[in-house]
Amino acid sequence: MRKVLVLNGPNLGRLGRRQPEIYGHTTHEQLAELCRTWGTGFDLDVELRQTNHEGELLDWLNAAADDETPVVLNAAAWTHYSWAIFDACAQLTAPLVEVHISDPSQRPETFRHTSVVTEHAVAVVAGMGIDGYRRALEIIAGTPGS
């Protein structure tokens, strides 16, 4: 089984409680279990992490670059402005799939229409709800070298 990191940024630890009309009712703990189950079906060993601290996410991305580990990334709010996240994603050599529960391009706040991650991703999955993570893992599983 190939290891894959599923990395979630700020406020995603509050899934199920935070704006369920946008992000649904699945908790982060339930998402972690779903990702592990989906990953097993794709012959992937999934480790899901969440942080509200940008430096911690950067450390995880840097380690993924060093270890050539594929990444599914929902950088949340950092998606739209963090040049540090941009630089960390630029280092990745294994596949990176950007995922968003909602579709940022369809959100009314125009700042959400920009992503610093997309340029480095092999694919973007947005607006599929929690099932977007399943699709992102499927893409990783089908990417050469994974």
Binding residues are: 74, 80, 87, 101-102, 112
Query: Annotated catalytic residue: which of 28, 100, 113, 120?
Result: 100
**H or E stretch including 97?**
strand 96-100
23 catalytic residue (yes or no): yes
CA distances (Å), 27 to each of 30, 41, 56, in order?
5, 21, 21
Residue reference for tokens 């060993």: 45
Choose, from 23, 53, 81, 133, the residue flagged as catalytic. Answer: 23
Using alpha carbons, select from 57, 50, 40, 58 the residue that is nearest to residue 2.
Answer: 40
Binding positions for substrate are: 74, 80, 87, 101-102, 112
**Tokens standing for residue 86:** 């941009």
Cβ pair 107, 132 in contact under 8 A? no
Known catalytic membership, residue 100: yes
Buried b (16+ CB within 10 A) or exposed e, 81-117: ebeebbebbeebebbbbbbbbbebeeeeeeebeebbb
Catalytically active residues are: 23, 100
